[in-house]
Amino acid sequence: MILAPEDAALFYRAWWPLLTWVNDQRSIVPRFPRPSPDRPIGTALAKPIRDALWADDSLLEKFLTDGATELGVAERELVASWKDRVSGQFVVLKHLQKHSIFMSKDVFGVVGIYSPLQELIPHVPMFVDAVLLPFGDRIIIDGLLSSPGIQLSFGPGARRAFQEQYRKAQATSQVRTSLLPRAEPRKQVVASRSSSSRPQLRGEWRITTTELWDADALNMVQPAFIRFDDDRFGAVGMIAAQASLDCRYAVRDGKALVEFTFAGDDDGDPWFGRGWATLEKDGSLQGRLFSHHGDDSDFVAERVTTKTRAPQSRAKRRTRKPRF
């Protein structure tokens, strides 16, 4: 069992900036280029930074106050939840279809991030050193595992003891599949995440201004727009680019909020990235778009009504197109 691709991407959007910031503060390893999906942090660099991070809780707190300014709401909420991590030595007992069983004094059901844990730990039972992290109502590892330098062999007595501990946890519903405080109900990754903001944002919005592109560029092919449909779908179009949206709705500081990823086409080239927007008191939509390996820009949009709706297509003008 692994996270959904968009959830795995969310993890690394939080994890890599955190490790980079910690290294900038402590100079644990030589500085490295800003990580990306095409250029992740190698294990040799990540492990000593990660060890320093989990040894000092103040680093997590300082990152949230000083170093997380570029992170979205979901990423910040995810990092904040990691104060409830569980670190130590575990016996990985078995791999089930829905999770892998990690055991210490408690029993945990853990899922992989991008790769099933069965691929990382093919031989079980096995002792591992690991850090278990909350991911909403699931448990993941922080991406780094270590095990004894030699393969330990467990005798029949040890195996029976492991199985008995697991059976007792199963029988009493004590297999933990979440690291959320037990007194709280299960929540999504963002505590304030709610569909209540969706009706306020649903519909089409005309993008009127951005910091990078003027109206002529924005409306090159059709009036620039962003649209939020039912469920988690939507679309965005500007200049010569169009993309579909995958949206998450929440409320922040009393304002309706939408965060989204997008994927589509920019005049024949792939165009994808992420963004967010909030509904302001004046009724405008204000947010920011981040193109993967490209520009980012804020934008302001106004709601499209029947009276203001414009034709959905124009003759394409052959002018130089700003690159995303």
- Say if strands 107-110 and 175-176 run parallel, antiparallel, or are unpaired: parallel
C-alpha to C-alpha distance for 153 and 108, rounded to whole angstroms: 22
Task: Note every long-range contact of 118-125, with CB atoms under 8 Å and residues 24 or more positions apart, other chains counting.
Answer: 120/145, 121/92, 121/95, 121/145, 123/151, 124/92, 124/93, 124/94, 124/95, 125/91, 125/92, 125/93, 125/94, 125/154, 125/159, 125/162
Q: Compute the average pLDDT of residues 196-213.
A: 84
Domain spanning 195-303: which CATH class is it, in words? mainly beta
Of 20-29, 139-148, 165-174, 192-201, minimum mean pLDDT range? 192-201
Q: How confident is the model at residue 311 (pLDDT cuts 50, 70, 90)?
A: very low
Domain boundaries defined on the chain:
5-176, 195-303
Average pLDDT over residues 43-56: 93
In three-state secondary structure terms, 101 is strand
Quick one: tokens of 200?
């306020």
Q: Which amino acid is at 284?
A: S
**Length of the chain in residues, anyone?**
324
> What is the Cα–Cα distance from 180 to 169, expressed in whole angstroms?
18
How does the average pLDDT of the chain come out, rounded? 85
Bridge partners, residue 301, by sequence: 207, 285
**Alpha-carbon Rg for the chain in angstroms:** 23
* Mean per-residue pLDDT, 216-225: 90
